Amino acid sequence: MRNQRKTNQAISRSQLTERETTQSTVDRARVAVPSFFTLMNLFCGFVAITQIHQGQYVPACYLILLAGLFDLLDGMVARLTNGASLFGTELDSLCDVVSFGVAPAYLIYSQLLQSSGMFGLIVSALPVMCSAVRLARFNLQYSPEKKPDFEGLPTPVNAFCIVAIVLNIIQDTWIMRAGGVSTEFLIPIIVVLSLLMISMIRFDGVPRISLLYLRSNPGFSTAYIIAVMVMCIFPYTGLLLVLLVYVSVGLIRTISDSVRMLMALPK
C-alpha cells in the first residue's frame, strides 16, 4: 500500500513537471514569435544604414518604412498571442533606436546636411538622442494594455517624416518645388520633430482595426481610409501630407486644450 502511494506521488510529480515544461515551452514561443518580427525590424534598419553608406537613398527609405511595418506587426502578434513581455519591450526599444533613430539620422545627414559641417552633424544627431530618450521614457511607463495615444511623437512617425522629406526631395515632387525647400528650411523641421518626441504632447496611437471599431468610430475610420487612399494614389506627396496632418492634429488638439483650460481659470 505504501509502495503504491509512493508510485502515485512519483507519477503526479512527473505529470506536474511535464505540464510545467510544456507551459514553459509555450511561454517561450509566445515571446519568440513577436521577437522575430522585432529582429526583422532591426535587420531592415541595419541594411538601410548600409544602403545610405553606399549612396542608395531610395532603397534605404523603403527599408526604414519596411522596418515600421515589422514594428507594427510585432505589437499585433504579441497581443494576439498574449506574448507581451518586458523582454519584448526592451528588445523593441533597442531595435527602434537603430531603425528609427540612427538610420533616419544618418539618412538626413548623408543626403542633406553633410555640407553644413559640424552644425549639420549636431542637428542630424538630434533624432538619435531624442529617440533614445523617448523610448527610455516609454519603457518606464510600460503597460501591456493597448493605449489610445502616446506621450510625445512616436519614433517611427519621426523616422517616416524624415523618409518622406528625403523621398520628395529626390523625386523633386511638386510639393517640394512649391515650397522652395532648402537646407535652412529643413534644419528647423528636424529640430522641431526631434523635440516633439520628448515633449508631453499626446499623439494618436494606431487603433485595432475591427468591425466594432469601424462602427463605433466612423469619423476616425473614414480618416484612416482616406489617408490610405491618398498614400496609394500619391505615394510620395501623399505620405508627407498624411504625416503632416497627423502631427498637426496632435499640436492643434494640445493648443486648443491649453486655451480651454486657461479660459476656465477663475478671473
Name the residue ranges covered by the structural domains of the chain: 23-202
Give the pLDDT band of residue 166 (cuts 50, 70, 90). Answer: very high
Q: Which of 20-34, 113-127, 161-175 has the lowest mean pLDDT?
A: 20-34
How deeply is 145 buried, as exposed, middle or buried, from its count of CB atoms within 10 A (0-12, 13-18, 19+)? exposed
Provide the pairing of β-strand 202-204 with 149-151.
antiparallel
Stretch 241-246: mean pLDDT, rounded? 92
What pLDDT score was predicted for residue 208?
64
What pLDDT score was predicted for residue 37?
92
| Contact assessment for residue 105 and residue 95, using Cβ atoms and an 8 Å cutoff | no
Q: Encode pLDDT of 133-142 as tens digits.
A: 999 998 887 7
Give the pLDDT band of residue 212 (cuts 50, 70, 90). Answer: low
Query: Cα dihedral sign for 59, 63, 66, 72?
Result: negative
Stretch 218-244: mean pLDDT, rounded? 86
What pLDDT score was predicted for residue 141?
78
| Contact assessment for residue 96 and residue 137, using Cβ atoms and an 8 Å cutoff | no
Identify the helix (H) or strand (E) that includes residue 213.
helix 211-216
Q: Taking the model in full, what pTM does it have?
A: 0.84
Tell me the C-alpha distance between 77 and 88, whole Å.
11
Which tops the pLDDT comparison, 19 or 62?
62
Give the total residue count for the chain.
267
Mean of the per-residue pLDDT values of the chain: 83
Which tops the pLDDT comparison, 161 or 20?
161
pLDDT at 267 > cutoff 80? no
Q: Among 176, 42, 165, which Cα is nearest to 113's?
A: 165
In order of 22, 171, 215, the CA distances from 30 in angstroms are 12, 42, 31
Q: Which of 86-90, 116-120, 182-186, 223-227 has the lowest mean pLDDT?
A: 182-186
23-202: CATH superfamily: CDP-alcohol phosphotransferase transmembrane (TM) domain (1.20.120.1760)
Residue 50's CB is within 10 A of a number of other CB atoms, namely: 13
What pLDDT score was predicted for residue 32?
76
